[in-house]
């Protein structure tokens, strides 16, 4: 499974944890149970394409040969991209990483 899917790797788990933490902060309930909004966000997170071939991960978290490159800045960028896809706010560091990555991308690829 690790050869095919990102979320079975250490890097993938770090991305899941970073986004999961943000989801838990969205309209948190006093008793710690998931709110309907949080459940919806978890469903959206689960529906992402976590395969190594998914375009979301290519060029930074997944290298040209399909290998995971779990550098800290790559994890931060992956968390930022997933949060953006889910409509969650990013931290200052994540927002900066996302902005830099978008500036480096060719115009037609955005």
What is 10-73 written as a DSSP string? HHHHHHHHHHHHHHHHTT--TTSPPPHHHHHHHHHHHHS--BTT-TTTBTTTB-TTS-B---HH
DSSP 8-state assignment for residue 97: H
Is 53 contained in some domain?
Answer: yes
Domain span including residue 15: 6-104
Structure confidence at residue 110 (pLDDT)? 46
Structure confidence at residue 24 (pLDDT)? 94
Is 1 contained in some domain?
Answer: no
Is 110 contained in some domain?
Answer: no
Structure confidence at residue 106 (pLDDT)? 60
**Distance from C-alpha of 66 to C-alpha of 3, rounded to nearest angstrom:** 9
Is 89 contained in some domain?
Answer: yes
DSSP 8-state assignment for residue 88: P
Total tally of structural domains belonging to the chain: 1
Enumerate residue ranges in the chain where pLDDT < 50.
Answer: 108-110
Is 109 contained in some domain?
Answer: no
**Distance from C-alpha of 4 to C-alpha of 21, rounded to nearest angstrom:** 25
Structure confidence at residue 72 (pLDDT)? 94
């Amino acid at each position: 499974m690790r050869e095919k899917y990102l979320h079975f790797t250490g890097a993938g788990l770090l991305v899941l944890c970073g986004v999961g933490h943000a989801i838990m902060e969205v309209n948190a309930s006093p008793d710690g149970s998931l709110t309907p909004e949080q459940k919806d966000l978890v469903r959206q997170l689960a529906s992402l394409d976590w395969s190594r071939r998914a375009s979301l991960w290519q060029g930074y978290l997944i290298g040209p040969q399909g290998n995971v490159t779990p550098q800290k800045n790559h994890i931060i960028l992956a968390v930022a991209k997933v949060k953006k896809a889910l409509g969650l706010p990013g931290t200052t560091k994540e927002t900066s990483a996302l902005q830099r990555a978008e500036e480096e991308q060719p115009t037609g690829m955005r």
